[in-house]
Amino acid sequence: MHDVIVVGAGAAGAASAYHLAARGHRVLLLEAQSLPRRKPCGGGMAASVQRWFPFDLTPAVDQVIEQVRFTWCLDDPVTAVLPGDSPFWIVQRSRLDQFIAQQAVAAGAELVDAAAVETMDRDDDGWTVIAGGHRYTSRAVVVADGSNSRFAGQLALGNPKPRFASAVAVEVEAAVAEPNTARFEFGLVKHGFCWAFPRQGGYSIGVGSFIGNTDVDADAVLAQLLPSLGLATDAGERIQSPLRVWDGHYPLHIAAGAVAVGDAASLCDPFLAEGLRPALLSGVRSAEALDRFLSADDSRQAAQALAGYSQAMRQQWGESMAWGRRIAQVFYRVPKVGYQIGIKRPTAPQRIAQILSGEMGYGDIAQRVIKRLLFQRG
């Protein structure tokens, strides 16, 4: 029997597996696809995540971003220089996820890929997981099976009715004019924005809409955005990639020994679509909680240990996202006003840069921003 089975070797699952194995636990990391595997993702994350890992993450980093440029309908640009000690990294998920999974294996975890989980059940002896035709058992499980999670809902982990933002991911191989600059374009997308992140050999581009249930007309948006990057209007492979965004505080654990992490836990930023930092944070905090759970003297201590994970994610991520959602609901309904007040104010770009770098949370700016937006809207 394993101590913990982690279902999904994405960033969150691999991070949880690493930190559990590093603490001496018997960990099985299951991945449905063969590694390395592609995952639609802009790949942007704060370099500050390095503090959560004792090993160097830079071998998985494609590009270091030093500044962020905002535009309104491809015009009226505003540029913010990121804090020197907290840049923004661009990664390719195929490399990052495999790299952290390899670190987990080096720490003692067992990795089985190309093994889709078929069933996950709990009885008095623990958890039984059937994957790839094989039967595995454990004392606890980590649900890390992504935005389309089968098991988060089945186990009543997180939001029972997850909210999805409409998004399309585009990968383009091309020469990059400004490799140290990430772009955010507002105005072309109703209730959302576009992003263009430089990486090795090209761009990771996305189009996302964050309010309502209307699918974004990505082709029409990209026909305007891509030429501004020196690209053909039909460049790149386009993949529908809905984002499972944060939409309220919900328990991310059950006392029987299960936690949800990453996209399966609906952690994606509802304003700027940041998903990697909360994914890695949840992997780290889930491992800490499960370490306490596995060493608990009784069921009460065990339950408290897992409740501590939900509480930590609420305090360290959810409270900021509650403000981020409020900002998004106002900003994306009056985006032109939002751009003028929320982006073009002298201090605003630097504040957003600090949020992207992990130095600030939405709560630090929210009340002032919302008041300005509502006043102008009225």
Q: With 80 as the cut, is the pLDDT of residue 310 above it?
A: yes
Q: With 80 as the cut, is the pLDDT of residue 14 above it?
A: yes
Q: Of 286, 56, 293, 40, which Cα lies nearest the Cα of 152?
A: 286
Give backbone dihedrals phi and psi of 168, rounded to 5 degrees, phi first.
Answer: -125, 130
Across the chain, what does the average pLDDT equal? Answer: 92
- Residue 354's pLDDT band (cuts 50, 70, 90): confident
DSSP 41-57: ---EEEGGGGGG-SS--
Structure tokens at 192: 């959302």
Structure tokens at 46: 């704060």
What percent of the chain is modeled with pLDDT above 90?
79
| Residue 117 backbone zone (phi > 0: left; psi -120 to 50: alpha; other: beta) | beta
Predicted local distance difference test score (pLDDT) of residue 80: 85
Q: With 90 as the cut, is the pLDDT of residue 170 above it?
A: yes
Amino acid, res. 13: G
Predicted local distance difference test score (pLDDT) of residue 84: 67
Q: How far apart are CA 205 and CA 367, in angstroms?
A: 31
Q: With 60 as the cut, is the pLDDT of residue 378 above it?
A: no
Q: Where are the domains of the chain?
A: 2-40+91-160+247-326, 334-377
Predicted local distance difference test score (pLDDT) of residue 323: 93
Q: With 80 as the cut, is the pLDDT of residue 370 above it?
A: no
Across 305-325, average pLDDT: 96
Give backbone dihedrals phi and psi of 286, rounded to 5 degrees, phi first.
Answer: -65, -40
Predicted local distance difference test score (pLDDT) of residue 375: 58
pLDDT, tens digit, for every residue of 87-131?
A: 889 999 999 999 999 999 999 999 999 999 999 999 998 999 999
The CATH code belonging to domain 2-40+91-160+247-326 is 3.50.50.60
The strand pair at 67-72 and 181-186 is best described as parallel
Q: Spell 320-350 as b/e; 16+ CB within 10 A means b.
A: bbbbbbbbbbbbbebbebbbbbbbeeeebbb
Q: Of 358, 282, 292, 283, which Cα lies nearest the Cα of 314?
A: 282
Burial of residue 36 (number of CB atoms within 10 Å: 0-12, 13-18, 19+) = middle
Q: With 60 as the cut, is the pLDDT of residue 377 above it?
A: no
Predicted local distance difference test score (pLDDT) of residue 194: 96
